[in-house]
Amino acid sequence: MNFISTRGGINKISSTFAVLKGIADNGGLFVPENFPYIYKDIKKYRMKNYCELSFYIIKKFFQELGDENIKECIDKAYKNKFKVKLNNSFLELYHGPTYAFKDAALLLLPQLMKKCRHLEKIKDDIVILTATSGDTGKAALEGFKNIDGIKVIVFYPDKGVSTIQELQMKTSTGGNVYVVAIDGNFDDAQRGVKNIFNNEEYKKVLKNKGIMLSSANSINIGRLIPQIVYYFYGYFNMVNNKEIKEDEEINVVVPTGNFGNILAAYYAKKMGLPIKNFICASNENNVLTDFLNTGEYNKNRELILTTSPSMDILVSSNLERLLFELSNRDSELINYYMNSLNNKGKYRVNDSIRNNLKEFYGEFATGKEVSKTIKDVLEEENYLIDPHTAVAYICYKKYLNKTGDKTKKLIISTASPFKFTKAVLSSLNVSYDDNNDFHLLKLLSEKCSLEIPVNLRELEKLPIFHNKKCKANEMKNMIMEVLNKLPQNI
């Protein structure tokens, strides 16, 4: 399988090199040369476990690695570390070490990258630059911890993540990981990382130091492809539980920020999975809702800090990959749109793309709606959800009311409610005087008769290793400072 850039201008490259580079030199995102139609063959494996299903799907994209290497990567990533559970219509993706759906990809990506580095005979150290709105950071730090030849630097928005999310990152161990808070929001962090990737002079300086840059964000295709798996797994579980018939279409409902999660669902459909519509669920940063309803993407607005911080994003990077497919892979058009976004903060897609977007429905939820929904779902279904999942549930209800479409749905549940104790307790009208998050974990546990996830329970006892801060325009200097401190050839 070869990979190409959404912005053209380069020759096809191997899957292994696409994973290592993360992003094309011209700023484009790597996509597979084609998507194999696998549904008819793979549905006979619908009783298989998650590791077995992952192997069948992932090997379609990474043939260069060979079957044994892929199996080894999957086993090291997932065995006894990660589970996916279907609870009624909710696909719970947070049963991993960091209690967020990012574990599904970021446990596997480090293993794939290690094998790719060996296969491509890369001698340079690979430095992973990652911007996070909350969950990607800790998942990357955990997945890449002490991986030979790879270092990780995570940038997160100061005051833009939950206390638990911040502590998960600041207490991270490993001789090859570093965490930096930036004075700004997620878009500032993501833009800073992208600018560094596109700075050829800076990359030459790093190259002279024996360093190659890569990414663990969903702009890296090696991060995105593993996410396809859980849509097949969720669908097959619905069939196995007799919630749907084999080959019956479903709708998927995805809380959406950077557009990677819902894009993985779209890729699954291109590979044959019977998905009818995609409900793109946003919080009050509803740039995607507006885009899907009007055809204009406009980031020129104030970022709102919400109780679903992983979705507090105004520039959804993976939308570029969707537009590439819906434009019949017109790289010139994608360049035009992305240049317009960079220069004017907006673009408007043509009528052909708007017509091809009809299977995507954009809805958004307010903070008040999120609070009410968390409370209502607990009282009516005895089921506790986090704010991001609540956004998805609300948007599904709005979609249902507008369309009357009673197609069975799969709602993606992206994080443990214990990562957002203050928001969840406030939603349940539980008053508290103590703002200590660990006391609030216990309070939420008692209120809902649920066990606190073990890694969160132990978080309070861990020492803080990372306290660095910088401004968004100082990220390049901070990287140099960090690299001078991290040991070489770990």
Place of tokens 């479409």: 405
CATH of 125-209+454-489, one of 3.40.50.720, 3.40.50.1010, 3.40.50.1100, 3.10.20.30: 3.40.50.1100
Blockwise average pLDDT, block size 10, the chain, 490 residues: 95 95 93 98 94 97 97 97 97 96 96 95 94 89 93 94 93 95 92 91 93 92 97 98 98 97 99 99 99 98 94 96 99 98 98 98 99 98 98 99 98 97 96 88 96 94 95 94 71
CA 98 to chain centre: 13
Q: Name the pairing type of β-strands 177-183 and 150-157.
A: parallel
Taking alpha carbons only, the member of 49, 36, 41 closest to residue 75 is: 49
Backbone angles phi, psi at 404, to 5 degrees: 70, 10
Residue 102 bears catalytic tag: yes
pLDDT score recorded for residue 485: 77
CATH of 1-118+219-416, one of 3.10.350.10, 3.40.50.1980, 1.10.10.10, 3.40.50.1100: 3.40.50.1100
Place of tokens 């549904």: 39
pLDDT score recorded for residue 135: 85
Active-site residue, selected from the candidate residues 21, 48, 102, 397? 102
29 CB-near residues (< 8 Å, 6+ apart)? 5, 6, 23, 219, 221, 317, 318, 320, 321, 324
Q: Name the pairing type of β-strands 211-215 and 30-32.
A: unpaired
Going from N- to C-terminal start, the domains of the chain cover: 1-118+219-416, 125-209+454-489
